[in-house]
Structure 1
């Protein structure tokens, strides 16, 4: 729980399918995976899996996932390392494979662990400080058969066997193919005869010895002649055996016929009932997933047409839901539109308007936060990534890099109550260093937009009172204004959400991690953590969940790191003590 996390990469996972268990999609079960490894005594291999921070869910999986690791260092793809470094990492992977392979059985825990080892390609293997780390784990390309897909480890010459067990090492292979002929070759005949010693060294078996014995002539033949005849017979026997072996190797081998499968056990009434119930649930799941792919307008039309109709009977007598209308995304978006989410029109003259003069002292803290905090919707393939940001100067908004990492053309929707309508934002700067999860958008404001930049303050101490401001999805999705915004009403503004708490700890990491108790959730990423004066002391970035104790901690990156990033990029901001 205590180790800070370091950013590896943000992945566009909208084209991948998440493997699932009864508890849901694999990337959402990171805490359960770590608990399972701990129960097996394999917690040292927990860092093999990167920790995911998922974006907004879409029917086929996740729109995007940002991956983090507690390991210190820069994440580098295994394929970019030189041969010596790559071999060291593969050695570490082999050790992990040997430790995990005995636990990949048919039990629920074994199946769960095996699913967690699936990655869509070897490019998902990263290296952090010499240690392998898997991203995109538990994900496969659509249409991949899980039963036949290999468990990928980034090996170039070999991969795990289909049953999940590691292949033999080179040392094991050598030991398996070694022959016990050395003892025979080192022994000689009892009477010192060279021909007999040579015959012994060839490894002749009992049948060969018996044949040689029957070839001995009668007692009246001289000793030298007997041994010459015996040697000739032995040589002939060996040549015949060699010829027989060559003929057998050239002859086509008949394929082995597998034994017939055992007859299926008769299905009990209880099994039949469970199967029928499962089929019904699968049909209902497909129905609701189909509805999730519809736009709000299509949903209204569908329920208007089917809301007063009773379910029709399926061929097997089960009730069936009405089929949702077909829904396809345009092949190429219009200039001012994107699949699933339109961008607001640009202000007149496509220019940034000056911000009206506002005296912060005349405003309450909630009024300042409403003007300074913004909702961000970043169009991504198949949906939108939701997050939060806050103004740092008249027309620039700071947010987390993982909020806009997969935004189409680097564009996003930005809005708050101080604007007369939703505005377009363009990503103009992102952080490169591991752990520095920052991005800046330049917003095209219009006349009358009374936004208020928030000053930054690096001074923060443990037990200080703080508050978190943002647009968590759990609350926004219940807000009628949020739904109208998604339908294209760019004058609709969701309500900004406030939670308060105290600073629990300040971890001296790079950058500093501020652990606090102001509750945040998905959608709060990029929002400000502020002190009682309304100064931003950090940016809320990730949460940690502990399943065993049912606890959650929130972490913000400190404003000292934010200011260093903004200075490096040449972006103006206000610093206060």
Structure 2
């Protein structure tokens, strides 16, 4: 990872230019390797290293840009005319090799994506050399608009290639047919001139034959009854996700009405205790008689108007039933950080313990992991421990499942209990636990862990929310839509109720016009996946009745005389 921070850019997900169904920014290592091999390290160094944050409910997506440099970055536009001329000449000379790479089908999408920039101060100068930021992006949500890239390039990076190279004298020749270039100028203005060769008309015959054959095959594929893939219903349909969003809107409207009714009917007693129309406090407790103190512990409603904080909720420790522990302690002891070494570097996700030495996560967290490059870490584990895949099912869009079961020899962390009940979980308070990427990217312990310091363990992140709706989005795919904030890295982590039982496996986020909404795969689907494995988690179906240590327990008791 480069160490010199250059700038940070806020964006929308639609601004990301994609290549091979992935944002070009996520293929930075591949781009750098290609340019180093084909054009040299100086050309590869033109493109700043991106650190992409997908954003969450409170923060917009953004990209932080870094470079290997010592001096502070300065936008090219702020240099003197003489300095600008020198840097522009360097940039023009070193961008020129990308033209030939962009004409190769195997690399065209990646190179064109890298040459797509926002357009405002995209060139920074550090250590006297130019570095391009904001690449892999098109403004105004134009990332998916392939046709707009050429015109946008001409107005941005293309202007550095518009200074013509002085052509050498050439013999008179017929015009040369060429592929589209970066600018409307002749090929000779973009590359070092080479002797022009005449192309015989017979040389075009094989290409014409190939085009005719391709056209015939395409015509056959478009005929009724001819398909590239067997006809089948998609695992996850647009209608099902639309129904889920409509259900969410209904839940939010009902939630707003509930909150307004509680606000209108709330009564504040003389002793300062706020009582709602349902005769409970906002945190779901029954209030004591006026003038009396709250008990040291009390049962709370699972759908309380305001969720209780995890350090005040008490759950039974199976290893020590006489000494209850806080919900936060229980979650921390069972949730793990999942690390996968891939060709593009280290990726991180979340997981949780379901049995002795067994961890559940998402299949997509492990995607691309090299053999022997899986490990788990965290407060529940200590130093990273090697892991191996026992079973996996995915990807979600193809199979309706996104699960993986890992075996971690020597892992002694306790297992979660799973909740698979017949009742609805709507409006129940829940906690999402895991290691979101937008937190890890600025976590000093995670940076030290990446650098090889095994004892550097990042802290667990927990967010709270409510279950908005339960939805079937495919023939065998059931999800809980909830409002606990998630981001990349939460994948595979547990969604926990206020009694410490896992009610879902956090798996993906859908971006709405106003906020993101998290989805957790249902426990029933997880249990079907675990069938036939050594995992035998404890499953309960009893409704949650959380035990809470009231906030006023230590402060409202009458003083002793």
Pair in the same fold by TM > 0.5 = no
Question: Which of the two has greater helix per residue?
Answer: 1
What is the TM-score when the length of structure 1 is the normalising length?
Answer: 0.41
Higher alpha-carbon Rg: 1
Larger strand proportion, structure 1 or 2? 2
TM-score by length of 2: 0.42
